[in-house]
Amino acid sequence: MEVIYEDNHLIIINKSPGEIVQGDKTGDEPLVETLKHWFKEKYGKPGNVFCGVVHRLDRPVGGLVVFAKTSKALTRLNDMFRNGEVEKTYWALSRNKPEPAEGRLVHFITTTERNNKSYASLTERSGSKRAVLTYRLLGCSDRYNLIEVKLETGRKHQIRVQLSSIGCPIKGDLKYGDKRSNPDGSISLMARRIRFTHPVSGKEIDVTAPLPSDPLWQAFDKIEFEDEK
């Protein structure tokens, strides 16, 4: 568990692929419980420790996850995420290059719980939810392409299914059309950067996750974010 940022009200973790944010049917310990144990040990807190889940990443995805340390922060962060006041930037590796190199995707996503899979359609269907993201090609290596994604909505498997819909499945993501799995079971998608106004202090929080040590990711390490302020 890698702590990227922490104060009295919130903590931002760089999640490893394979870790789960919140408990599921596997029974594996989720990050939220790991954090509670960590808080108890680090701060010597007796009894129950508060840690609120603000948002989630799919299990095979790595990168930044925000947790609330106080109920006040949790309530306000939940509202901010719901109202689109949190800027989330993702990086994805794909064997294919998007055409055009940048754009805005609008789909209607339907999720089937039976196989835990989402489906994207250009037309609205019964039970579907509107899904919007913007993307741009940041760089290319001999075999892979780095795509930056910014979400305007938060739907289940949204980035995975929408990139797949334009012929750019994420490396390692067999569920959405890639050829081969990654050796560690991850997919090559990470929550790279998160930016928002602190829910209590009002200061700007702008955090970027380090790239994984995998050489494929490291090949893109020199790409810098443009100043968007």
Active site residues: 58
Q: What's the rounded Cα separation, in Å, for the pair 135 and 14?
A: 22
For residue 29, list its beta bridge partners.
Answer: none
Max Cα distance, the chain (Å): 55
Write out 142-204 in H/E/C secondary structure.
CCCEEEEEEECCCCCCHHHHHHHHCCCCECCCHHHCCCCCCCCCCCCEEEEEEEEECCCCCCE
Q: What's the rounded Cα separation, in Å, for the pair 105 and 51?
A: 34
